[in-house]
Structure 1
Amino acid sequence: MLKSIIAAAALSLAAGSALAQTKTEIVMQYPYPELFTETHKRIAEEFAKVHPEIKVTMRAPYESYEDATQKVLREAVTNQMPDVSFQGLNRIRVLVDKNIPAELGGYIAAEKDFDKQGFHQAMYDIGTAGGKVYALPFAISLPIVYVNLDLVKQAGGDVDNLPKSWDELIALAKKIKAIGNDTNGVTYAWDITGNWLWQAPVFARGGTMLNTDETKVAFDGPEGKFAINMIARLVNEGGMPNLDQPSMRAAFAAGKTGFHITSTSDLNKVTQMTGGKFALKTIPFPDVASPNGRLPAGGNVVLILAKDKAKRDAAWEAVKFWTGAKGAAIMAETTGYMPPNKVANDVYLKDFYVKNPNNYTAVGQLPLLTKWYAFPGDNGLKITDVIKDHLNSIVSGARAKEPEAVLADMTADVQKLLPKTTGTAR
């Protein structure tokens, strides 16, 4: 009997060892740890409960979307990429052009009743390049305005009738600045990744970055002139200080700024940082005036980079879970982003927006959503830096009095970096 027990135990240990050996490990990497570390930790814990056969290992996070893309481009050469990578919405194009991510069409087609899990065409459209799906959206953001209602009251503003236009916002910001005590009237996260808040005011007026075949700069028209002058007015009239994004966020959370314009993705962090020191409200991005006015969708998507089939299959299970109803709901609850998954919004978050109206501001702008534009060609990332440098010349005060001259120089510099051959808009 003892021999039988020992033999059974040995068989059990052998079976357990074999099971452990068949467990598939996938490596995952994501950007912005200050926003997403807790989010991915919680989703990974839930994923492990339903997929114990898949081990998810997290790499040290990317610092930013630019860092994420540059690292993957380098790692693709040395075959050291993670199996799953979260990238900025505007970085899909450059990775697809290098044939790096896996196409997801076959996986999507094989799923039964995928729409009932909250997946829909608009989700696929965001991650499409050249007519094929390479990514699923994980976290979606839009630009909004954060308002310190206490400072609005002190400046004589009406908290029940907050600004809807840039003219109104700048006029009230000027009054808030006049309060003194190192108070800022307004801050605008102009240097946010991928020129996002340069594109926003241009798109809001119905403009585009390039012409239809992507051969010529188009942001030098009336829409771009409005946008560049608006940014200059924030400096010249609103008294906007020259701060980086963390400093802007900290100043607002400390109760020193009247209006802070940035991504809805900051909402959870800003709310925690304010600690109830003042009444916080969010309002829509101003002056989406044209019938064709849109706002660029920010946030990130998830791509499968694994080459091994077993790892790809396991990665697909992870991608489904992260972007599915449960994962999307956790993402919304732990950040300020919006979930693109319908079931997450309709079921898991049914009461969330009632209790958290500041989170709903961006949701109300969803009909305005358009793609975050990515410039074509090998100089796409360089163009982003060029635009940022020109905007910096205004915000720093060096050329704040000549915004249209800055726009002309920016136009010429970007034009030089565009591909010489005719492109196709994406």
Structure 2
Amino acid sequence: MLKRMTVAALAVLAGVAGAHAQSQTEVVLQYPYPELFTETHKKIAEEFAKVRPDIKVTLRAPYESYEDGTQRVLREAVTSQLPDVSFQGLNRIRVLVDKSIPAPLDGYIAAEKDFDKQGFHQAMFDIGTSSGKVYALPFAISLPIVYVNLDLATKAGADPENLPTTWDGIIDLAKKIKASAPDVNGITYSWDITGNWLWQAPVFARGGSMLNADETKVAFNGPEGQFAIRTLARLVSDGGMPNLDQPAMRAAFAAGKTGIHVTSTSDLNKVTQMIGDKFKLKTHTFPDVVSPNGRLPAGGNVVMILAKDKAKRDASWEVVKFWTGPKGAAIMAQTTGYMPPNKVTNEVYLKDFYVKNPNNYTAVKQLPLLTKWYAFPGDNGLKITDVIKDHLNTIVSGTRTKEPDAVLADMAADVQKLLPRSVGSAR
């Protein structure tokens, strides 16, 4: 009798477990840069499971990069193999919206009550807006900052409390660092970051733009672009910048072999861990942001819903809300060098974190300068970023370091040929 009751009880429990499993909605999530985000997404998924056991989040093998993520989504849209939720580079929203791949979020946002009290605000929606609709919410935001090896900078005569804020000052300090320690690099600049991000930064910082207002003509070849490309050339010719790719630059700086490194705040946690106790690190704001029109492009990634089924979309919205909400955003900030765009996260959850980690607060101070990471229009948008990168490489490699203006002219002409609605050659 007891045995029959035990068997019956187990059957009931098994039935309950089976019913629970069947009642779960699975949401497949995919993200880029595993070296930066795998720990982050696993931790957020663990917290989400505690509050929404009815939704099972499955993490698909990550994209290698933003470009890889976008290309895979474009292919998977054709073969109907899309994940339900995808994290994409901020500058890749446009190309996916043009292909009608992500779902608009406006209806979900409108249905939320007191959404602003959860830290969501208009600037967050603006970042993911395309063609008048919201298609993405920002997850991890980065801005360009300056990393300084204070040991090398102090040895070269710099005041740690008054580091240079202009490119002239930065390059001068790089030269002094090189002179005081010949076996190290004075400066490195992550010019090859995805999507021409650190090409756009010095152009936008001076108040410039990539194209004109109706996006028919190149605009980065004006005074702002001339300043930017001449500065890149000076980093090589005057600052002694070596021809290294981004990972090699990071490794050299963390090893104490570079005095100044200009890159994304997203590298901060990784670089800090790599440095350990080898030297004292201080981060500093990006140089020469000119008022009143100077801005800096927001890097990082946004989250989109790609699910087609309504039940999947509804569940995906709950995932998106949690990942970009106060709890998810706080985990993201604490496990990476990125900034959360969520107000409640910054003002409440991370208040003490920034006091204890002032290097992380440098980029937060630049938030008023934030602008969109520009994406070129048309089917050649991705190709244009490669064309720009190839031209910039001729400066950094030494091939055309002494003729930056000529490189800029050639780059503008090549980009102009790839623009839709082209109206003549670039001037």
Q: TM-score range by the shorter chain?
A: over 0.9
8 Å CA contact 2:199–2:228 kept in 1: the answer is: yes
8 Å CA contact 2:103–2:307 kept in 1: the answer is: yes
Matched, 1:262 2:266: no
1:204-243 correspondence runs (5 A): 204-243=205-244
TM-score by length of 2: 0.97
Give the superposed CA RMSD: 1.2
1:329-348 correspondence runs (5 A): 329-348=330-349
8 Å CA contact 2:142–2:266 kept in 1: the answer is: yes
Partner in structure 1 of residue 371 of structure 2 = 370
8 Å CA contact 2:94–2:375 kept in 1: the answer is: yes
CA deviation profile, 1:368-391 (whole Å, cap 9, x unmatched)? 000000000000000000000000
Give how far 1:420 is off.
2.2
CA deviation profile, 1:85-139 (whole Å, cap 9, x unmatched)? 0000000000000000001011111111111111111110000001100000000
SS in 1 for 2:208: coil
SS in 1 for 2:374: coil
Partner in structure 1 of residue 139 of structure 2 = 138
1:150-161 correspondence runs (5 A): 150-161=151-162
1:19-418 correspondence runs (5 A): 19-418=20-419
Give how far 1:276 is off.
1.6
SS in 2 for 1:106: helix
Taking the aligned partners of 1:132 and 1:291, their CA distance within structure 2 comes to 28
Amino acid at match of 1:302: V
Taking the aligned partners of 2:6 and 2:160, their CA distance within structure 1 comes to 76
Taking the aligned partners of 1:356 and 1:349, their CA distance within structure 2 comes to 10
CA deviation profile, 1:353-406 (whole Å, cap 9, x unmatched)? 100000000000011000000000000000000000000000000000000000
Taking the aligned partners of 2:8 and 2:198, their CA distance within structure 1 comes to 68
Give how far 1:59 is off.
1.2
Amino acid at match of 2:328: G
Give how far 1:9 is off.
3.9
CA deviation profile, 1:240-296 (whole Å, cap 9, x unmatched)? 000011100000000111110000000000000000211100000000023100000
Give how far 1:22 is off.
1.9
Amino acid at match of 1:313: D
Taking the aligned partners of 2:12 and 2:328, their CA distance within structure 1 comes to 38
Give the length in aligned residue pairs. 422
8 Å CA contact 2:31–2:86 kept in 1: the answer is: yes
SS in 2 for 1:250: helix
Amino acid at match of 1:416: K
8 Å CA contact 2:29–2:85 kept in 1: the answer is: yes
Give how far 1:25 is off.
1.0
8 Å CA contact 2:28–2:59 kept in 1: the answer is: yes
Structure 2, unaligned runs of 5 or more: none
Taking the aligned partners of 1:62 and 1:250, their CA distance within structure 2 comes to 22
Structure 1 residue ranges, 4+ long, deviating more than 6 angstroms after superposition:
none
Give how far 1:73 is off.
0.5
Taking the aligned partners of 2:60 and 2:180, their CA distance within structure 1 comes to 47
Amino acid at match of 1:365: Q
Taking the aligned partners of 1:189 and 1:8, their CA distance within structure 2 comes to 63
SS in 2 for 1:376: coil
Taking the aligned partners of 2:208 and 2:353, their CA distance within structure 1 comes to 34
Amino acid at match of 1:345: N
Amino acid at match of 1:25: E
Deviates more, 1:152-161 or 1:386-395: 152-161
Taking the aligned partners of 1:284 and 1:126, their CA distance within structure 2 comes to 22
Taking the aligned partners of 2:17 and 2:276, their CA distance within structure 1 comes to 49
Amino acid at match of 2:280: A
Give how far 1:5 is off.
5.6
Deviates more, 1:30-39 or 1:8-17: 8-17
Structure 1, unaligned runs of 5 or more: none
Give how far 1:181 is off.
4.4
Amino acid at match of 2:240: G
Taking the aligned partners of 2:271 and 2:289, their CA distance within structure 1 comes to 25
TM-score by length of 1: 0.97
Deviates more, 1:38-47 or 1:153-162: 153-162
Give how far 1:16 is off.
2.1
SS in 1 for 2:176: helix
Taking the aligned partners of 2:49 and 2:11, their CA distance within structure 1 comes to 27
